[in-house]
Each structure stands twice: as C-alpha cells, then as structure tokens.
Amino acid sequence: LVVTALRSFLRFLQQRGLLATDLAVAVPGIAGWRLAHLPKALPADQVERLLASCDRRTPAGRRDYAVLMLLARLGLRGGEVSALTLDDLDWDCGEIVVHGKGQRLARLPLPADVGAALVDYLRQDRPACSTRRVFIRIKAPRRSFVSPSTICCIVHRALKRTGLTPAFKGAHLLRHSLATDLLRRGASLVEIGQLLRHSQPNTTQIYAKVDIAALRAIALPWPGVSS
C-alpha cells in the first residue's frame, strides 16, 4: 500500500509540473508470493462462541444467527449469502442452491441446524416485501442488503460481542475456519475443495499449512542433529 501510494504521489507531482521526470517508475515493486501466508481462522470453540453471541430472542439476533450459520457450517462467501433468494432453498430435497463465482451454480446439502435457523428467521422476522432475497434489512426501507459488506459487518459485530480480536474480521474468516477445522478432523484437501467449491485444486493447497501433525510427519531432521 505504501509503494502504491508513493507511486501515485510521484505521478501527481509530475502532472503538477513539480517533477520533470517520472520518478514513479523508479519505485521498486514488492513481491507477493502466492500461498505465502497462513489462512486466518478461528478455533472451533471460538466459532461456537461467535454463534452463541447472537440474541435469538430478537429479530436482528435471529437473522444474524442464520447468516453466521451459513458462513460457519457451509463456508459460503459473504456475497453468496447476500445473494441468496427464497427460490434457492429446496426444502423438499434438503438442499440449497449457491450462486458462486463466475456465475457458477452449486447445490449443497442443507444441514438441519442451518435449516432450523433459516426457518426461525423466515417464519418470525422476514417482512413481506417485493424482493425475493432471503435476508432483509431490519429497519425501513425493507429491502435486501445493499452489498456483501453488510455480511462482513454482521461478523464484525459478533466478534466484538465475544471479545475476539483476530487480525482478519471479514466473512471469509468463518470460511477459513470451517476448512481448517475439517482438515484437523481428517477431511482431505479434495473434500474441502469440493465443499468450498474451488474451481482449481491448488486453491485449497494453502490449508495444508495448518495440518501441523501431517507436516511434522514429513519434516526432515535439521542437519547435524540426531533424530
């Protein structure tokens, strides 16, 4: 960010005539190595604390609980939750249709606890309105969420209620948490990739870094140290 801002500032100075030479081209780039970071995730017990923080005696609490359940149990992206419509819920088959990246559609099984959370919200709190979107604003005007950032705000508020302060506070935090927990419980990377609907297998590879037991088994001893 600093490098980008510096380049922009130097171009601004050149456009204003304060610099005769385009110094922006002299600012070196920063390498962004693929898969260089660890996925940011919460332990399973903290995810449960997050879900329990919703006051399910209130309309907002029931709505937010249903949103968080979709993120935590199915690993949906924030935009996928925001775009969910009433027609995407197949109650007869117990499935949910997800509108993913690249206009791809996927059908996922609807767990009983996620379905129950949705039913509580739909029956008690969702107002009658013209939109077919599942999640509606609590306050007027009664319409669907303006952008997926609203889903991130719901996650952020839940983190604040529980006193959790992870480095990343967006909706993807629960997606990463689900994948990490599944890996630690024995799920394969292929199975995790199928649940998260990754189009490329190498997208799931980053979660291999958090499987400490498997990494320890293949790690070579440090040279000069007896095993």
Q: How far is CA 132 from CA 53, 84, 120, in A?
A: 28, 9, 17
CA atoms within 13 A on the CB side of 123: 6
- Cβ neighbourhood burial of 104 (10 Å; 0-12, 13-18, 19+): exposed
According to DSSP, the residues that pair with 105 across neighbouring strands are: 99
Cβ atoms of 226 and 135 closer than 8 Å: no
Query: What are residue 96's phi and psi, to 5 degrees?
Result: -130, 135
According to DSSP, the residues that pair with 106 across neighbouring strands are: 98
Rounded to whole angstroms, the Cα distance separating 90 from 115 reads 10
Catalytic residues: 77, 101, 172, 175, 198, 207
| Residue from 76, 120, 112, 117 nearest 95 by CA | 112
